[in-house]
Chains A and B, each alone.
Chain A
Amino acid sequence: MSGSIKPSSLLLKLKSNLFTIGFFIPAFLYLFSFFVIIVVFLLKFSFSGNVPLLHLLSVDEFKAALWRSFWFMGVGTPLQLVVGLLLALLIQQSFKGVGMVRSLFMIPIAIPALVTAIIIDLLFSYPLGPINDLLLGRHAFFPQIVSLPVNWSGSEFLSLGLAILGKTWRDMPISMLILLAGLHSIELEQYEAAKTMGARSWQQFKYLTLPLLTPAILTILILRSIENWKEFVFPFVLAPAYPLLGVLIERLYHVEQNPALAASVALGLVILIALTTLIFTTITKMVRKYLVRV
């Protein structure tokens, strides 16, 4: 290959590909307006305040929110993966009424997140919520577990736990569907071959299902971790006293009228998301490599 392309040949190439280029223009404009412009403004805003990005860690509010968001992501992401995988393995089996069960599991995603969050909030309200009634033994069919009503939203651990559960419940169909598609792409004969070679169910799962599902698993880890990092609705409704990064951004912008700091936090969030994606990709590849070695 020679190093330079003659301008005339470049023009010719451009001309012959005009049709293809034409197709890319809408996508390009879309990306440009929704991505480039937003990032530029984010950068501009975040450097206009008096707290530069690197000094964010000295802001106590940010540190606390970062820590909570880390736990939210760190517990929520694997939980959503495992629940999705179990459900996918369950509804992949053929049994009577599997079609109905499959549709049933799709319901959560059809309900707006805000509605789900509010219903959970009502269920767990203090001191007179249905769940507290249950735990206090006010129904004959359920034994008494606690003697005093539990203040769910008053505890950081419990309120964030509820937020994680709500998020997992609502988004499980996404993980389930991605994994189900992955499971369907594995041929039955591969399992039979493994069986004749002596692999038990657990070994078939470990050496066949798991590595063959890694593309699906990685997709879920990335999508879910991004979602969990920037989660807003569930913690906003269920744990208002313990803001996550997403909630903090809203508060800084609307309540405290500090758009510069809000932008800095948002930029920090973007960096965290990029780092997490990198880490999950590396880990998944390493696990896969370990599983397929001789």
Chain B
Amino acid sequence: MAEVKLKNLTKRFKDVVAVDNISLDIEDGEFLTLVGPSGCGKSTTLRAVAGLENPTAGDILIDGQRVNPLPPQKRHISMVFQSYALFPHMSVESNLAFGLKIRKKSLKHKSEKVKWAIELLGLSGFEKRLPKELSGGQRQRVALGRALVLEPKVLLLDEPLSNLDAKLRLRMRTELKRLHKKIKTTIIYVTHDQAEAMTLSDRLAVMKDGKILQVGTPEEIYQKPADIFCAGFIGSPPMNFVSGERVPQVEDKNAMVGIRPEDLSISLAETKDGIVGRSSVTETLGSDNYLYVDISDLLISVRLKPEEKIPEDKPVWLVARKEKHHLFDKSTGRRV
């Protein structure tokens, strides 16, 4: 277990700046997620921590030690790849033991660790199978086990769940969270899926265009997004944005107002300070329903309580309590 510090880290590929001067402190035993759209530099950051990319500038510290000049094997990290990168010619057992074999561990140590991983990840009975004879979820667990048997100080996970189908992804998400509780290793997790980031992480760092826009707990980022991008990226369906001049309660008419779908109340009768629109379609999810309301050129999503029924194609009035408004500067996008 260890803390990881990134200091003014920059990575350039020819003319492209993949990671732009980011600094980040990850605490010992923390589950930190780098989240952002594809091409935002999150994977490059992870690969730089792993030692698979050389930073153009800046420092990476693991446990207080500057690891920039160290090759991957000297950094006490383990990494799980999106494709799993299992060795296709080796059995589950051999895959799990590979890192230990390279480190010239004793046969006893190897078989103990392999047994431990097999039990931890529920792979018993599959020891002799080849990766191609496993299901996606099992492969994913072998990849995880292969990383864990090395007892890394830092575990790096690069979109490990994105190749699984939706149902399995949810299950593995829970398993991963329970696993972290059990082993308490520092984990840096990369994903483009905000739901994954929210549910798994102690803290998350939202990235865009090589920069970190906000770091905080899932609640902090959800409740107080630092800018318009974080506000729109975290949360599903995303936050609604309306120009300040259209919202009667807002004084700063130059601001952009963000309101989450669950903070809006809807009425079929005219409401004080309400914005009028036309109800369009309803998405039924079971526990929640979302109604989309047309207000001239915008489509606003509103969460309905299950018992709430709003007919489609009728005039409706939307209103949100003032303290639920998120105000952003129109030009910079920063929170005001």
Binding site for B on A (CB under 8 A): 187, 189-190, 192-200, 203, 207-208, 211-212, 288, 292-294
Interface pair A190/B102, CB less than 8 Å apart: no
List 11 interface pairs A-B (beta carbons < 8 Å), by A numbering. A187-B85, A193-B146, A196-B52, A197-B98, A197-B99, A199-B102, A200-B73, A207-B98, A288-B89, A293-B94, A294-B97
For the complex, what is the distance from the CA of A198 to the CA of B102, rounded to whole Å? 6
Which residues of B lie under 8 Å from residue A212 when comparing CB positions?
88-89
* Chain A CB within 8 A of B238 CB: no
Which of A194, A196, A198, A200 neighbours the largest number of chain B CB atoms within 10 Å of its CB? Answer: A196
Closest 9 CB pairs of A and B: A198-B73, A197-B99, A189-B85, A193-B85, A196-B79, A196-B72, A198-B102, A294-B97, A195-B72
A187 near B150: Cβ-Cβ < 8 Å: no
Whether the pair B146, A197 counts as a contact (CB closer than 8 A) is yes
Pairwise interchain contact A192-B81, C-beta atoms closer than 8 A:
yes
Which residue of chain A lies nearest to B50 when distances are taken between CB atoms in the complex? A196
Chain B interface mostly: mixed
Number of interface residues of B (CB under 8 A): 32
Q: How far is the CA of A293 from the CA of B102 in the complex (A)?
A: 12
Task: Point out the residues of chain A lying under 8 angstroms from B50, CB to CB.
Answer: 196
Closest to B47 in A: A192
- Which B residues touch A192, using CB under 8 A? 52, 79, 81, 85
A200 cross-chain contacts in B, Cβ below 8 A = 73
Q: Do A292 and B73 form a contact, CB below 8 Å, given A199-B102, A208-B87, A212-B89?
A: no
Interface residues of B in 84-109 (CB under 8 A from A): 85-91, 93-94, 97-99, 101-103
> Are A197 and B78 in contact, with the CB atoms below 8 A?
yes
In the complex, A211 Cα to B78 Cα: how many Å?
23
A sample of 6 more A-B contacts (CB under 8 A), given A193-B146, A198-B150, A294-B97, is A189-B81, A195-B72, A196-B73, A203-B102, A207-B98, A293-B94
Task: Give 1 or 0 for each of B42-76: 1 = CB within 8 Å of chain A CB.
Answer: 00000000111000000000000000000111000
Distance, CA A211 to CA B87, complexed state (A): 10
User: Is B72 touching A292 in the complex (CB atoms < 8 A)?
Assistant: no
B98 to chain A, nearest CB (A): 6
In this complex, what residue of A is CB-closest to B111?
A: A294
Partner of A190, one of B79, B87, B94, B150: B87
Q: How far is the CB of B5 from chain A (nearest CB, A)?
A: 20
A218 to chain B, nearest CB (A): 13
Check if B83 is an interface residue, CB within 8 A of chain A.
yes
> Which residues of chain A have C-beta atoms less than 8 A from B93's C-beta?
294
A294 neighbours in B (Cβ, 8 Å): 91, 93-94, 97, 101, 110-111, 114
B239 interface contact, C-beta 8 A? no
- For residue B77, CB closer than 8 A to chain A, the reply is yes
User: Cα distance A130–B200 when bound, in Å?
Assistant: 75
A211 to B99, CA, bound (A): 17
List of A residues within 8 angstroms of B114 by Cβ: 294
The CA-CA distance from A292 to B94 in the complex, in Å, is 7
**CA–CA, A90 to B102, complex, Å?**
26
Q: How far is the CA of A190 from the CA of B82 in the complex (A)?
A: 11
Task: List the B side residues contacting A199 at CB < 8 Å.
Answer: 73, 98, 102
Is B83 within 8 A of A187, CB to CB? Answer: yes
Residues of B close to A288: CB separation below 8 A: 89
Contact B98 A211 (CB under 8 A): no
Residues on A with C-beta less than 8 A from B72 are 195-196, 198
Residues of chain B within 8 A (CB-CB) of A190 are 85-88
Residues of B near A208 (CB, < 8 A) are 87
Distance, CA A187 to CA B103, complexed state (A): 23
Question: Could you tell me if B85 and A198 are in contact, using CB atoms closer than 8 angstroms?
Answer: no
Q: Once the chains bind, are A197 and B85 in contact (CB under 8 Å)?
A: no
In the bound complex, residues from chain B placing their C-beta under 8 Å from that of A198 are 72-73, 99, 102-103, 150
Asked if residues B150 and A197 are in contact (CB atoms below 8 Å), the reply is yes
Query: What is the CB-to-nearest-CB distance from A253 to chain B, in angstroms, rounded to a whole number?
Result: 46
User: Shortest beta-carbon distance, B152 to chain A, in Å?
Assistant: 9
Contacts A212-B88, A292-B94, A294-B97 given; indicate if A197 touches B83 (C-beta within 8 A): no
Q: How far is the CA of A207 from the CA of B71 in the complex (A)?
A: 19
- A196 vs B101: C-alpha distance in the bound complex, in angstroms? 13
Is A196 a contact partner of B51 (Cβ separation < 8 A)? yes
A-side contacts of B85, CB under 8 Å: 187, 189-190, 192-193
Residues of chain B lying within 8 A (CB to CB) of residue A195? 51-52, 71-73
List residues of chain B with CB within 8 A of the CB of A194: 87, 98, 102
> Which listed residue, B77, B89, B99, touches A292 by the CB 8 Å rule?
B89
A192 to B48, CA, bound (A): 12
Question: A196 touching B89 by the CB < 8 A rule?
Answer: no
A185 to chain B, nearest CB (A): 10
| B102 near A193: Cβ-Cβ < 8 Å | no
In the complex, residue of chain B having the shortest beta-carbon distance to the beta carbon of A188:
B85
Chain B proximity of A197: nearest CB distance (Å) = 4
**B51, B79, B89: the one within 8 Å of A193 (CB):** B79
List of B residues within 8 angstroms of A187 by Cβ:
83, 85
Q: Roughly how many angstroms separate A212 CA and B110 CA in the complex, as a whole number?
A: 23
- Residues of chain B with a CB closer than 8 A to A293's CB: 94
A187 to chain B, nearest CB (A): 7
A211 in contact with B97 (CB, 8 Å): no
Within 8 A of A (CB), among B182-206: none
Q: Which residue of the partner chain B has the closest CB to A291?
A: B89
- Chain B residues in 8 Å Cβ range of A196: 50-52, 72-73, 77-79, 156
Chain B minimum-CB-distance residue to A211: B89
* Residue in B closest to A294 when the chains form the complex, CB atoms: B97
- In the complex, what's the smallest C-beta–C-beta distance from A247 to chain B, in angstroms? 41
Provide the bound-state CA to CA distance between A291 and B37, in Å. 41
Residues from chain B with a CB closer than 8 A to the CB of A211 are: 89
Expressed in whole angstroms, the minimum distance between the Cβ of B54 and any Cβ of chain A is: 13
B87 touches A197 (CB 8 A): no
Query: Closest CB-CB distance, B144 to chain A, in whole Å?
Result: 12
